[in-house]
Amino acid sequence: MKVGAVIITMGNRPAELRALLDSVAGQHGDPVEVVVVGNGSPVPDVPEGVRTVELPENLGIPGGRNVGIEAFGPGGCDVDILLFLDDDGLLARPDTAELCREAFAADPELGIISFRIADPETGETQRRHVPRLRASDPMRSSRVTTFLGGANAVRTTVFAEVGGLPAEFFYAHEETDLAWRALDAGWLIDYRSDMVLYHPTTAPSRHAVYHRMVARNRVWLARRNLPALLVPVYLGVWLLLTLARRPSKEALRAWFGGFKEGWTSPCGPRRPMRWRTVWRLTRLGRPPVI
């Protein structure tokens, strides 16, 4: 199976980007073709053979990744599998691409693989990087209902069937939007603890727009994908969870601003999932109200 990789960059981590590209070039098996997308910035020097696309403006994470997908033909059709990797990450093992080939070849219903993210110094995997509710054991692989945006592999026929990432989200929850559409189309998602991307431990709230985007996109996610009966339940649960976490006044103000924006601004096409998909998500351990 032919493998490609999409990496988006703001051009501000040239050393980390080069280390990541070296780890991709060192993968066993057939070479992985790479496209680096400069998201509103020039692309730093890259090795020969790495293709680059420089965008005149920052399209956000999903928008930038969509450009990378299309660089491999419509819906990425020139390859069978696309890896999506954060530009400050590093593939821990040289057989990750081969493991992806084997996994997708063995299971024709497998659409997406979520890698394990580990700190390169401590080996720690943050709880938020295990895409399931029962996240206490990051070394346990399992079927899941979403995936990690900067450390994953997607069968390109998924994009052909359900479309790309929601560019309007810009940042936050775009992976779950794609995951729900893929699951509704009958695809499966696996979390694999043996496929590792080294990435420094960070907090998502380091981004200035974090609280507003998370709240706005949570509403958009529900409006786009959930049956009407579940929309208020899902958002009500997240409102209670947010309050229980006792964010600062500034964070809470931004969160409520984003929550309001989610209701008052266009969210893209609405395609509610089928009730059998709701049941499927529930059986996988994450009903779409949590």
The string of pLDDT tens digits covering residues 161-207 is: 999 999 999 999 999 999 999 999 999 999 999 999 999 987 775 55
pLDDT of residue 206: 53
pLDDT of residue 205: 55
Mean pLDDT across 121-134: 94
Residue 189 near residue 175 (C-beta atoms within 8 A): no
pLDDT of residue 208: 58
Comparing CA positions, the residue from 81, 79, 63 lying closest to residue 154 is 81
| 226: CB partners within 8 A, 6+ apart | 234, 272, 273, 288
pLDDT of residue 209: 84
| Alpha-carbon gap, residue 1 to 13, rounded angstroms | 31
List the beta bridge partners of residue 117: 197
Question: Mean pLDDT for the chain?
Answer: 96
- Is the confidence at residue 130, as pLDDT, over 90? yes
pLDDT of residue 278: 98
- Is the confidence at residue 11, as pLDDT, over 60? yes
Choosing among 1.10.645.10, 3.40.50.720, 3.40.50.10260, 3.90.550.10, the CATH entry for 3-198 is 3.90.550.10
For tokens 């990797």, the residue is 85
CA distances (Å), origin 164, targets 70, 147, 282: 10, 14, 24
- Is the confidence at residue 22, as pLDDT, over 90? yes
For tokens 């920052």, the residue is 58
Domain boundaries, the chain: 3-198, 208-284
For the stretch 29-50, pLDDT in tens is: 999 999 999 999 999 999 999 9
| Alpha-carbon gap, residue 251 to 147, rounded angstroms | 25
Q: Residues of 93-117 as b/e, b for ≥16 C-beta within 10 angstroms?
A: beebbbbbbebbeeeeebbbbbbbb
| Alpha-carbon gap, residue 38 to 49, rounded angstroms | 16
- Is the confidence at residue 86, as pLDDT, over 80? yes
At 142, is the pLDDT very low, low, confident or very high (cuts 50, 70, 90)? very high
Mean pLDDT across 84-95: 98
Q: What are the DSSP E strand ranges found in the chain?
A: 3-9, 33-38, 51-54, 81-85, 90-91, 110-118, 142-143, 151-155, 188-198
Residue 258 near residue 216 (C-beta atoms within 8 A): yes
